[in-house]
Amino acid sequence: MSENNQRAQWGSNLGFILSAAGSAVGLGNIWKFPGRAYNGGGGMFLIVYILIVAFIGMPVMISELALGRKTHKNVVGAYRMISKRWSIVGYLAFLSSFIILCYYAQVGGWVLEYFISYIVNSSAVYADPLNYFYGVLGANGFPLMGSVICPGIFMFFTMFVLTKGVSGGIEKFNKIAMPMLVVLLIILLIRSVTLPGAGEGIHYLLSFDTSKFNASMLLSALGQAFYSLSLGLAIMVTYGSYVSKKENIVKNAGYICFFDTFIAIIAGFIIIPAVFATGVEPGMGGGFAFASLAGVFEHMPAGTVFGIVFYLLLLFAALTSSVSLLEGGVAFVTEEFHTSRNKTVIVMGLIMFIIGIFYTLSQVHMPLKGVWIDAAQGLTFPSLGDCMEFITDRLTIPVGAFFSCIFVGWIWKAKEASKEVKSDGLYKFRLEKIWSFLIKFVCPAAILMIILYGMFFGISVS
């Protein structure tokens, strides 16, 4: 029987781990984590980050995987099956995934455009990196490549993978993409740490500047860990629903968290030594990944080659995450409204792609037939991109995750949830009491801090 006629399952446990890890390993690991590690004192930040992943990230991941496997439902159906009143948490997770992919596919398109640019015209990037980046966003006219062609190719490939199903599409893709991602990381790591002057960056990452340990650094590490692991979205519940009862959830969650953290740390050891060696100021986000890093590659021996490898790495990371974001929504629509998988993939993908175009167009103000008003004229409009990121980063994701912890700990009840964790019949959940305490008290408190600081203090920790 085909995956269209029965609920899909992973073809192998390795395929599930690679797919879930691929979901977690995204652009944030590679262009946000190094900047946060640098600002957080290097080794001090790494220790705090690892502890947060172990004691907050992993308990939440275990709970989401357990909920998915218990119900074998999409994210909305999973919550509704335990308590109809709590299905709103599933809707929040679906909404978060939907909005994120609208703009994530655009950023993936920018990565693809830079990958092509470094192959065919790297000198144009080096000549004026910041203006080149603005040009991709549409500062010099309608950004056909940056908003339509490259994001369209990116979204098409994401949709193509999903049309092949769970085991035949998502799993097979990640079995190729994740090993390739690791290979590319290792190539870049070797090049970075062998650059003249890179030793200073390595020393910084291995040093422990305790003066950097404060509330701001703690929240930065907390936000990075939380968002990096794809928690509070429709992903882990959906992926967990495809997991066999005989698989060990705790061990698999550990593998996923380890792999995601490993990739982030390796990215730190790639970026920070390289920027120390070339004198570029470390940063975070798109401005750093697309504009500032041009200075690194320009001054690095064979830098253009390694620039190509870097953007290929980013492309793999973006695709593994976009596939999981779309799958969470597709599972919801096909199961709740009984639509065919392929039609749902196509319709949802096209809607997200069209909305995403306006995300790129909103990144810069430009006078184009009266549509965009330049800030110099005294008239500006709120950025759609800022609104989309605010909604997901500071509202739907953390609020949904907070209530997810409350749901598992107090509504489904941690004791009942732990039965599902142990349902393989082979593994004794020796840390059950610790996990129960963390999911009922510690994790909700940590997520509440993210919400409060984001909403009332204007500090983004995502």
Q: pLDDT value at position 21?
A: 95
In 3D space, the residue among 294, 314, 292 whose CA is nearest the CA of residue 304 turns out to be 294
Inter-residue contact 436 to 409 (CB < 8 Å):
yes
272, HSE (Cβ side, Cα atoms, 13 Å): 26
The set of residues, in sequence order, having a beta carbon less than 8 Å from that of 127 and lying 6+ positions away, is none
Strand partners, 210: none
* Model confidence, pTM: 0.91
- DSSP-derived letter for residue 301 is T
Residue 72 — φ and ψ, nearest 5°? 50, 45
How would you label 126-147 residue by residue, b for 16+ Cβ within 10 Å and e otherwise? beebeebbbbbbbbeeebebbb
Inter-residue contact 99 to 384 (CB < 8 Å):
no
Inter-residue contact 146 to 137 (CB < 8 Å):
yes
Inter-residue contact 44 to 210 (CB < 8 Å):
yes
Query: Residue 245 is encoded by which pair of tokens?
Result: 């009862």
Rg (the chain; Cα; Å): 22
The set of residues, in sequence order, having a beta carbon less than 8 Å from that of 213 and lying 6+ positions away, is 41, 44, 48
Inter-residue contact 405 to 443 (CB < 8 Å):
yes
Mean pLDDT of the chain: 89
| Rounded Cα–Cα distance for residues 454 and 462 (Å) | 9
Number of Cβ within 10 Å of residue 208's Cβ equals: 13
Strand partners, 352: none
- DSSP-derived letter for residue 282 is P
Helix, strand, or coil (residue 5): coil
Q: Could you give the residue ranges of the DSSP H alpha helices within 72-214?
A: 75-82, 87-120, 122-127, 129-137, 150-163, 172-193, 198-206
Element (H, E) at 324: helix 303-337
Strand partners, 163: none
| Rounded Cα–Cα distance for residues 153 and 397 (Å) | 27
Query: Residue 373 is encoded by which pair of tokens?
Result: 């008003």
How would you label 9-39 residue by residue, b for 16+ Cβ within 10 Å and e otherwise? bbbebebbbbbbbbbbbbbbbbbbbbbbbbb
Q: pLDDT value at position 429?
A: 67
Q: pLDDT value at position 365?
A: 52
Residues of the chain with pLDDT under 50: 1-5, 366-380, 461-462
| Rounded Cα–Cα distance for residues 26 and 10 (Å) | 21
In 3D space, the residue among 177, 176, 253 whose CA is nearest the CA of residue 17 turns out to be 253
Query: Residue 144 is encoded by which pair of tokens?
Result: 């056909």
Q: pLDDT value at position 376?
A: 44
Number of Cβ within 10 Å of residue 218's Cβ equals: 18
Q: pLDDT value at position 219?
A: 85
Query: Residue 146 is encoded by which pair of tokens?
Result: 């940056």
Domains of the chain, each with CATH number or no CATH: 13-366 (1.10.4160.10)
Helix, strand, or coil (residue 42): strand
Query: Residue 283 is encoded by which pair of tokens?
Result: 């940063």
